[in-house]
Structure 1
């Protein structure tokens, strides 16, 4: 009999600040505590560290959370207690306004004047100008994993110091959303030119300056006195402490060494709430679904019958009760993006659990006696994913699939094994993309820059390309839902395991912390501490 397994800290504060969805209409609950007071240090525990600070090199949450404290984007999403989770309403950041030509082929961004780069050598506090944007986008086009965000942009011009013009070969519906994407950080041209090492140094226009990065120990940020949004941030410092052990993270929160902890079990949340007076609990639905990635270049995972069999073997509802303690079915587009996602009832219908049918499909595919597969997992996201892997092994065994777990170190997992398709199956979280095109074109198109599963389906390619040309949001949403139905019917990877709930616990002095589903801790420009 399968033992109940308890979910624990998954991806640390990945789940807290950048991959969480509200279970209520807004992300706030009256925690603002009156007028903000400047000062204080916010300490946050992280389960692991990044391998680089280059925002164009790695989509890892460990990289993007850290660089997002420092950099800015052309556009951003509104935050605050009045913003429903996943609303993702655009507002100006480094661009104050923008114009789109009638034919949709020219975008003009008017940049904010008087913005200064952080006063760190070799940039030394100079003014932010259009050449920085062009240098950033050219670098992304040359080597960035975000290249898909620029789509059919064919020409980029700095019309003057504060005007950027983008020319497109065809209309591209996701472009504005992509300018506010959590990966589209604008770097100084000195970084693009190699005048400082982007892998170890971050110099931005954002609310915090990276003061010190001690690999696998801590990243320390100080308030940027020249931040363009006057009066912000309120915090003097933010420290990301690397604490790999779950028990140590909980102990640090209890002792006050850290003031924020994420993704605990119900039991742990109750215990912490009772043991730390004034603890506030945010009940959230993770925006990073637990996924089973399949390398379809590895036979027999190229066979739709085998993929369907694996999906049908997963006891999702039992896993919900035993491991996740709630949550809902996942889909090819994050369920947190409600405008674009399929409803839960339809997701359940399209992803049935049926071991008997799974066995029949395997036999039909030529595996009446089952088959052997390897299942890769890392502990870099916390203990949840190894436990899910154990559960999947048991489920697969019931249909004759003998899966062997292979545990790999996080840096190896994210820099070589997963992106280079050096695996057969892998269980892990998915990046909480904010624009559906990332979920579909970047991951599932045969030429997608994040197609790390070998998906190559001409019919799917055509549908995915079509949705980028549909400028009407409602019409585009229907096309995106049609694509998702096709993906699930073909059991194309990643196979959805579950969208799990999580909890964020905050000490009572932490005020105005209203997370949205994106990397980079944008909410911390508003957060303040009521000194105890």
Structure 2
């Protein structure tokens, strides 16, 4: 089958799970999914505390070390109440196949997916949504999905019938994703690995890949990649679908105010009767980390993503009953270089920047010592990430060497852009200081989140300190180095292209044996360092999350797709 990786989450918190040929039996749906404990860019708000902060480890109690209050198995959920969360940045619209900032939250809650699945939480199995079961045939390229007949479209003002979704909607969604002209998030894996798909009948969808692909299930369940959208809504066009949502998911979008908030309410036609429990979900937009934190401290929002462990401890001292979660995460920040613009077309300059970066300083100051140097693949993918000692040799901290390369290239200064959201300013201060030590003046150009995002999406920035998504497989993480960039259609692309690298990416992703695949990813990363790539990662964080104890069934697992799906089980325990 598709994976046997062992991650930090599996090794520290999950029992081993044997994958079966028929994949329907491990589903978590309806009442079975509700009994969980305790919910960003380039592509997802990495400080938004909606479940996107990674993790999956045992919850930590409050600062005193006592056990924090938890929902009991016998406590009956209450209907009603509002769950309010927040993030820094911008919403950026809700186009279902191409939005990737704050808009991903309502997209994931208001549309359906075939199922959601996390490499880091295999014990959860498959949380089925539009599909009721699926299987991979013996040829390892044919996938068959059986669909439920009762996933009805929510009430809407556009005249779209409140009918059940069917296989034609899945096909229409896949057809749209696969068209390069549409600029979709999932174009890269679709173009590279998916050959064809069809709808044999209304309740059956079939996908055939070009070759065995180790991460088919992860792509299909990725919250940015494969929402299933009613075919009539797709036909309205991207200009319309960017501003509103018509879907059959657990919630309906009721308000979308850029720069302020989005608000969702339950879909009365939702197939999982009795859910969602909440009367509404609100996601508020904040200009920076300070206002985001202040909103939490003043009880305006129910959950918050601290920047580091010290901040989390400080908050728990002030509120001793907070629920605290921490764990590994796939989020990280990076330096992105546009090789279509000088000086980034010179590989010596790209190599010099990497050599001038002192990752330990970033970890000590921003992570408060809680983090790990990373290469193209983050530490959380334990099998696929390079060993620490080898990584240190391949990307050494060498100020003298960096200074020599900058001088050889004739570079004494360069400029770069960055968003003003989150805590990016802290990265900027350290980065500028480290470049100065290597003999160059790095001129920072701050942009508001919306402007920065638009230019980043269009690949028109010169260089950027960039927020990044959770890339929930090793393949997605290294797609930054593939021709066409992370989306395969030149959105967010550095312009880097190398046929040898492309072939190595394909080899790794098409290897089904876990040990052989890990070895292939090691070889790929060694190759990348020889090519002086235009995308450099700083370090891998650990996530921190705090929520108030009245937020019940607060989902906190190692991938956003799982967390988003389980928002339907959240309820508010207030008198």
TM-score, structure 1 as length reference: 0.88
Match of 2:384 in 1: 340
Give me the whole-angstrom Cα distance separating, in 1, the residues matched to 2:282 and 2:337.
Answer: 36
Give me the whole-angstrom Cα distance separating, in 1, the residues matched to 2:551 and 2:51.
Answer: 17
Out of 451, 469, 473, the position equivalent to 1:435 is: 473
Please list, as runs of the form range in 1=range in 2, the aligned pairs for 1:347-426 lying within 5 A after superposition: 347-363=391-407, 365-367=408-410, 370-380=411-421, 382=422, 384-415=423-454, 417-426=455-464
Moved more, 163-172 or 492-501: 163-172
**CA positional deviation for 1:198:** 0.7
Match of 2:483 in 1: 446
Whether 1:115 aligns to 2:155 is no
1:86 to 1:245, Cα distance in 2 relative to 1, 3 A: farther
1:47 to 1:86, Cα distance in 2 relative to 1, 3 A: farther
Give me the whole-angstrom Cα distance separating, in 2, the residues matched to 1:518 and 1:440.
Answer: 19
Whether 1:207 aligns to 2:250 is yes
Out of 518, 527, 537, the position equivalent to 1:496 is: 537
1:88 to 1:465, Cα distance in 2 relative to 1, 3 A: farther
**CA positional deviation for 1:85:** 5.6
Give me the whole-angstrom Cα distance separating, in 2, the residues matched to 1:120 and 1:300.
Answer: 51
Please list, as runs of the form range in 1=range in 2, the aligned pairs for 1:148-159 lying within 5 A after superposition: 148-150=188-190, 151-159=192-200
Q: Secondary structure at the match of 2:549?
A: coil
Whether 1:24 aligns to 2:57 is yes
**CA positional deviation for 1:525:** 2.0
Contact 2:352 2:401 in 1 (8 A): yes
1:430 to 1:308, Cα distance in 2 relative to 1, 3 A: same
Match of 1:140 in 2: 177
Match of 2:332 in 1: 289
Cα deviation digits, residues 112-152 of structure 1 (max 9, x gap): 22221212243342111111101111111121231123234
**CA positional deviation for 1:239:** 0.8
Moved more, 469-478 or 505-514: 469-478
Out of 317, 324, 327, the position equivalent to 2:371 is: 327
Cα deviation digits, residues 389-440 of structure 1 (max 9, x gap): 121111111111221101112222222x223332332112221121222222
Match of 2:5 in 1: none
Q: Secondary structure at the match of 1:356?
A: helix
**CA positional deviation for 1:23:** 7.4
- For structure 1, the 5+ residue unaligned runs are 1-8
**CA positional deviation for 1:375:** 1.4
Match of 2:133 in 1: 97
**CA positional deviation for 1:50:** 1.5
Match of 2:554 in 1: 513
Whether 1:261 aligns to 2:261 is no
1:500 to 1:216, Cα distance in 2 relative to 1, 3 A: same
Q: Secondary structure at the match of 2:50?
A: helix
Cα deviation digits, residues 242-279 of structure 1 (max 9, x gap): 23243333332223221111134545433422333411
**CA positional deviation for 1:469:** 2.6
Contact 1:515 1:523 in 2 (8 A): no
Contact 2:48 2:86 in 1 (8 A): no
Give me the whole-angstrom Cα distance separating, in 1, the residues matched to 2:288 and 2:528.
Answer: 37
1:349 to 1:31, Cα distance in 2 relative to 1, 3 A: farther
Give me the whole-angstrom Cα distance separating, in 2, the residues matched to 1:247 and 1:100.
Answer: 48
1:508 to 1:345, Cα distance in 2 relative to 1, 3 A: farther
1:259 to 1:165, Cα distance in 2 relative to 1, 3 A: same
Out of 219, 230, 233, the position equivalent to 1:191 is: 233
Out of 167, 170, 184, the position equivalent to 1:130 is: 167
Aligned residues: 512
**CA positional deviation for 1:496:** 1.5
Give me the whole-angstrom Cα distance separating, in 2, the residues matched to 1:472 and 1:47.
Answer: 40
Q: Secondary structure at the match of 1:307?
A: helix
Q: Secondary structure at the match of 1:20?
A: coil
**CA positional deviation for 1:30:** 7.4
**CA positional deviation for 1:313:** 0.9
Contact 1:12 1:45 in 2 (8 A): no
- For structure 2, the 5+ residue unaligned runs are 1-39, 62-67
**CA positional deviation for 1:492:** 1.3
TM-score, structure 2 as length reference: 0.82
Q: Secondary structure at the match of 2:360?
A: helix
Q: Secondary structure at the match of 1:341?
A: coil
Give me the whole-angstrom Cα distance separating, in 2, the residues matched to 1:481 and 1:304.
Answer: 22
**CA positional deviation for 1:350:** 2.9
1:110 to 1:411, Cα distance in 2 relative to 1, 3 A: same
Aligned-residue CA RMSD (Å): 2.8
Give me the whole-angstrom Cα distance separating, in 2, the residues matched to 1:437 and 1:70.
Answer: 27
Match of 2:322 in 1: 279
Contact 1:289 1:330 in 2 (8 A): no
